[in-house]
Structure 1
Amino acid sequence: MSDKLTLVHFGAGNHTDPPDKFRRLFRRAIRSTPASRPLFESQLAELVSISQTIEESPLTNTGLTSSVARDGSIQCDSSVFVYNRTTLKHTQSSLLANTSAHPTTDCAIQYVLQQNQNDLGLTAPVALVGKTDRTLELNGPMKQFYDKFKPALCKIDAVDRKTVASIVSDTIGVSLVGRTTVTTGVSSGGSLFKRPGRIGCSGVVGAGCYTAQQEGFLANVLCSGNGEDIIQMDLARTVCRHLLSNRHSGRMTCDLVAEAAYTAAEEVELRALDENYKPRLYVGVCGYFEAPDNLKCVFYFHTTETFVFGYSTSLKSEFLFSKLPKAQTATKGQMYVK
């Protein structure tokens, strides 16, 4: 069995680019070589390297390729979550409404800095707002798109919904699962034409990502989709706890994930809308589950049109461009890891 697993997702949404483009990006990301960074320990350095490769791609909605806010600004949310499998404790950091080419890297730097004790005894911040690189400007296809619809943004309903739906507006995530530590990073530029200052699920630990362990069972969860609903459901933490609470049930992991998502959705007023403007569950969940007997699996569940992800170990790599089957409201599955 491999002692290391890398899990990468490119978001749950409506991806219109060919699957092969994402497959190539996945391979390039997992093969990226971490730069020499004295600030980062090895797993965090690897997280930064993989995230930067993904965030620089026009296929994703984060960094410079983020969906634009109504005022034309680039605002990304990101989180880093590190879980110690020996002490069963975690540390975390978030950067909100941050203009950056590499939001996960910025968050990782903030994570390291907050570990240092302050001489005045002040508590280091877990989350910061508006750490902005003002030298970055909107350009390329997104600038053209924004300029086209800018006059209509004062009455947002004038923007063609089909056109808006064609623009990627989801979250990316990376998890590195080792024998002693699990390091996760998520980032996103949020929804297209969002209100400036809007915070998505990637900036909220417990919503966009979470890791927990109980009696040797490990659950690592990444979420994407409608950020407002994912935050309301505290979805990543909810799924983690449901998996661990039912660890001896004998049921398939993906079935438990779906059950957790549907149950959480019943407890909130959903804000995502279908074509008829009726509330709907619009989320994607993927992650990793491990039992003490070394049974390991990567799982997924999504109600979105597509969900793109993959995992890699020293023995095997698998990539999946999952499409929602016609006439179905959700799809799910799991892959056993060697």
Structure 2
Amino acid sequence: MNQKINLLSIFLVLAFYACTTTTIKNQVPSYAIVLHGGAGNIQKQNMTPELEKQYRFKLNQALNTGDSILKNGGSSIDAVEKTIQVLENSPLFNAGKGAVFTHSGKNEMDASIMYGKDLNAGAVSGVGDIKNPISAARKVMEVSEHVMLSGKGASDFAEQEHLQMADSSYFFTQKRWDCLQKILRKEKKMTVSDKHGTVGCVALDKDGNLTAGTSTGGMTNKRFGRIGDSPIIGAGTYANNETCGVSCTGHGEYFIRLGVAKDISDMMEYQNLSLEKAAEKELKKINELGGTGGFITIDHEGNIVVKMNTSGMYRAYTNSFGDKEIKIFQ
């Protein structure tokens, strides 16, 4: 009898331990954040160790900025804006300070942000004198009745809202200028990494609210006021607390045609797919059209999925469990 009781006790202890371990394993993070600095033909053999170190340092700095906000109970909106500002302020990325030049030798930047709790969104397009376009996009979302403002109107609005403006000389970087001159001299296409580039961030805060944001300097040598996917809600940026947040980077025309960011959310909502499955299907659609690029995503449970069909993407993520990764190559 005593032996049976002992065996039963052992069984109950083991069963309790198994249940407890499963529960811990399936816990969701209280917050999570993922960012990107553009995708393209990024290969290790073409990058010096010193340059790789610079990229990793800046990605880490941006990630730590957002992580600190979320860890201390801050909103996903603040985390996304401040994280993207770090990338916009660096000449390494095609956004803000490092924006590429158009055919006429100007900088034209786009940005957007979306809040998953109420589906509110804001965007600016074709701006050349706003130091941090992502902050202008947030202002459009929060204090304007509109979703997207462009050109001079967007700049006037930003100035009215006391955002930091910048002279065109601020956005001049020799590397971006040389890229334009190379195209103009040789009249040949450059690699994807030279032509495109975007920065973005998606965050889930402790209140369960998702925010996604994207900022870009556009495409080198672009003409005719071309606008890509970055400022377009549903194409380059989307967030919905019921599904996921998405920020895209790559050849924007394809992302616009597919409505990539919202399509991922829709597959989760209407087809009941996991974020991983929805992301896989979306990347397949991009491949079938011949588009290049990638996207970062977080779902409402804090799962992070990153997809690309290029040789590299500047990217990093972390969460409340302390999981952390910074990557550049495929």
When normalised by structure 1's length, the TM-score is 0.73
Q: Distance in 2 between matches of 1:80 and 1:151?
A: 33
| 1:136 maps onto 2:142 in alignment | no
Q: SS at the partner of 2:115?
A: strand
Residue 143 to residue 308, structure 1, CA distance change in 2 (3 Å): closer
Which SS does the other structure have where 2:104 is aligned? coil
How many Å apart are 1:187 and its aligned residue? 0.5
Q: Aligned ranges for residues 293-304 of structure 1 at < 5 Å?
A: 296-304=302-310
In the TM superposition, what are the counterparts of 1:76-225 in structure 2 within 5 Å? 76-84=109-117, 89-99=118-128, 100-114=130-144, 124-130=145-151, 131-132=154-155, 135-137=167-169, 138-142=171-175, 144-145=177-178, 148-149=181-182, 152=185, 158-162=186-190, 165=192, 167=194, 169-178=196-205, 179-214=207-242, 218-225=243-250
Which amino acid is the alignment partner of residue 325 of structure 2? F
Which secondary structure does the structure 2 equivalent of 1:312 belong to? Answer: strand
In structure 2, what is the equivalent of residue 319 of structure 1? 325
Q: How far is 1:90 from its partner?
A: 0.7
Q: Is the 8 A contact 1:82 1:91 kept in 2?
A: yes
CA contact (8 A) 2:115 2:209 kept: yes
Distance 1:206 1:74, change over 3 A: same
Query: For 2:95, which of 62, 84, 90 is the aligned residue?
Result: 62
Say which structure is richer in strand: 1
Distance 1:140 1:171 in 2: 16
Taking every aligned residue pair, what percent have the same amino acid on both sides?
19
Q: Structure 1: where are the runs of 5+ without partners? A: 35-40, 115-123, 153-157, 271-279, 325-338
Residue 229 of structure 1 corresponds to 254
Residue correspondences, number:
279
Distance 1:139 1:322, change over 3 A: closer
**Pairwise CA distance, 1:129:** 0.6
Q: For residue 264 of structure 2, what is the aligned residue in structure 1?
A: 239
The 1:285–1:26 alpha-carbon spacing in structure 2 relative to 1, beyond 3 Å, is: same
What does the per-residue CA deviation read over 1:230-289, in whole Å, with 9 as the maximum and x for residues that have no partner?
0111001111211333436xxx743431223324665xxx4xxxxxxxxx2312022112
Separation of aligned partners in 1, 2:94 and 2:202: 18
Contact 1:254 1:301 in 2 (8 A): no
Task: Give the equivalent residue in structure 2 for 1:328.
Answer: none
Equivalent residue number for residue 297 of structure 2: 287
Distance 2:140 2:238 in 1: 18
1:207, distance to aligned residue in structure 2 (A): 0.7
Return the offset for 1:297.
2.1
State the secondary structure of the residue aligned to 2:218: coil
Q: Which residue of 1 aligns with 2:16?
A: none
- In structure 1, how many angstroms separate the alpha carbons of the residues matched to 2:195 and 2:91? 10
- Once the two structures are TM-superposed, the CA of residue 305 in structure 1 deviates from its matched residue by 1.9
Contact residue 77 and residue 96 of structure 1 kept, 8 A: yes
User: Equivalent residue for 1:14?
Assistant: 41
Name the Cα RMSD after superposition: 2.9
Q: CA deviation at 1:105?
A: 1.3
SS at match of 1:32: helix
Instruction: State the alpha-carbon separation in 1 of the partners of residues 106 and 38 from structure 2.
Output: 22
CA 1:165–1:175: 2 relative to 1, 3 Å: closer
SS in 1 for 2:321: coil
- Quick one: distance in 2 between partners of 1:265 and 1:146? 27
Q: What is the distance in 2 between the residues matched to 1:220 and 1:82?
A: 9
Runs of 4+ in 1 over 6 A off after TM superposition: none
Asked if 1:75 is matched to 2:75, the reply is no
Range 1-10 or range 140-149, more displaced: 140-149
Whether the 8 Å contact between 1:23 and 1:319 is mirrored in structure 2 is no
* SS at structure 2 position matched to 1:185: strand
Task: Pick the structure with greater CA Rg.
Answer: 2
TM (norm. structure 2) is: 0.75
1:261 equivalenced with 2:283 (yes/no): yes
Normalized per residue, the structure richer in helix is 2
Contact 1:239 1:261 in 2 (8 A): no
In 2: Cα distance, 1:151 partner to 1:283 partner: 24
Structure 1 residues 209 and 148, CA gap change in structure 2 (3 angstroms): closer
